[in-house]
Chains A and B, each alone.
Chain A
Amino acid sequence: MIALITGGSGSGKSAYAEELCVSWHKSSRPMIYIATMYPFDEESYRRIARHRKMRKNKNFDTVECFTGLKNAELPEKTTVLLECMSNLVTNEMFQEGGAGERTVEAIMEGIDRLAKQAENLVVVTNELFSDGIEYSPETTCYLEYLGEINRRLGRAADVVCEVVYGIPVFHKK
């Protein structure tokens, strides 16, 4: 099964995605949490610490992946939670050694591989598209790439769910 979980910042989408993984995961082997947030300041360390605390005791092994998703070494046949797509796109676009203009393709190659080898795949993404503000060409390009990936994931997923303040609102089920 593949699920795409979206929502705004602070919407409770991570907690919901974790619960979904736990409910889908049928074996006792550890689930895999692919962490994509590159820690670069105190605020990001705090965010990461908060997430680690949240998923503690839920049987996740954490694998960090900042770029090159398709090269990530992961055990097969388990439940994989990738969090989150918005950070992965940032990394691929702006980090040295990232995919740059090939960001969408590079990430989708990684997703395709994950979808084949995982028992369940849950991808957390982000609703960044409704603030009505015109950004620099760079940021606009970022939004375009993330939007494209979200749409492709939406087509591939069995479940597409927007989390609104902790409440799941299903767009596809």
Chain B
Amino acid sequence: MILVIGGAFQGKLEYVRKTFKGGTGPVAEGESCTPEEVRQASVVNHFHLLVKRLVEQGEDPHEAARKMLEINPDLIIISNELGCGVVPVTPFDRAYREAAGRVCCELAARAAEVHRVVCGLGQVIKAGGNS
């Protein structure tokens, strides 16, 4: 699995398409994707929105992420990097932001590579992981 993170509108998907062999394959959108779409995808885009949906539904995003990788261990996962802002006003936003952070920590620990995209440019911040 490869994790690609960065702020909003930094060109993460485009970077993935240019950089990785699997990057041109089918994309599952975090906002709306079904488990079947994730199974067939090579890229999950806007992963943070999937986390948001799961938190809204009261499900454990860690469990869901693990399941996703069991089924599809070579995924490229793209997520907005959240958390670099003032503490949100609503409890839900705080819980969502926290959950997205923790899940991405777990994904980063498991990832073979982690790339961070700023202004369209990718920086490899982790390479040579096991999976």
Q: Which of A9, A165, A167, A169 is packed against the most chain B CB atoms within 10 Å?
A: A165
Q: Does A131 contact B (CB under 8 A)?
A: yes
Q: Are B98 and A164 in contact (CB under 8 A)?
A: no
How many residue pairs link A and B with beta carbons under 8 A? The number is: 73
- Hey, which chain A residues are within 8 Å of B94, CB to CB? 43
The contact string, 1 if C-beta is below 8 Å from chain B, for chain A 153-173, is: 000000000001111010000
Instruction: Pick the contact of B86: A12, A135, A167 (CB < 8 A).
Output: A135
- Hey, which chain A residues are within 8 Å of B5, CB to CB? 164-165
Q: Are B84 and A167 in contact (CB under 8 A)?
A: no
Q: Are B84 and A165 in contact (CB under 8 A)?
A: no
- Hey, which chain A residues are within 8 Å of B22, CB to CB? none
Do A131 and B85 form a contact, CB below 8 Å, given A8-B101, A167-B108? yes
Q: Are A9 and B81 in contact (CB under 8 A)?
A: no
Do A130 and B84 form a contact, CB below 8 Å, given A10-B97, A43-B91, A169-B125? yes
Q: How far is the CA of A123 from the CA of B40 in the complex (A)?
A: 45
The contact string, 1 if C-beta is below 8 Å from chain A, for chain B 81-122, is: 111111100010010011111101101110000101000000
Chain B interface extent, by class: 20 to 34
Do A131 and B101 form a contact, CB below 8 Å, given A165-B5, A166-B108, A167-B108? no
Q: Does B7 contact A (CB under 8 A)?
A: yes
Q: Does B62 contact A (CB under 8 A)?
A: no
Q: How far is the CA of A75 from the CA of B99 in the complex (A)?
A: 37
Chain A interface extent, by class: 20 to 34
Q: How far is the CA of A128 from the CA of B86 in the complex (A)?
A: 5
Q: Are B84 and A143 in contact (CB under 8 A)?
A: no
- Hey, which chain B residues are within 8 Å of A10, CB to CB? 82-83, 97-102, 104-105
Q: Are A9 and B125 in contact (CB under 8 A)?
A: no
Q: Does B126 contact A (CB under 8 A)?
A: yes
Main secondary structure of the interface of A (DSSP, over half): loop
**CB of B26, distance to nearest CB on chain A (Å):** 25
- Hey, which chain A residues are within 8 Å of B101, CB to CB? 8-12, 165
**CB of B70, distance to nearest CB on chain A (Å):** 21
Q: How far is the CA of A129 from the CA of B85 in the complex (A)?
A: 6
Do A130 and B108 form a contact, CB below 8 Å, given A165-B5, A169-B125? no
The contact string, 1 if C-beta is below 8 Å from chain A, for chain B 23-42, is: 00000000000000000000
Complex A-B: 14 CB contacts under 8 Å:
A7-B83, A8-B83, A9-B97, A10-B82, A10-B97, A10-B104, A10-B105, A11-B101, A11-B105, A127-B83, A129-B85, A133-B86, A165-B107, A166-B109
Starting from the known contacts A43-B91, A164-B114, A165-B104, 5 additional A-B residue pairs (CB-CB under 8 Å) come to A8-B81, A10-B102, A164-B125, A165-B5, A167-B114
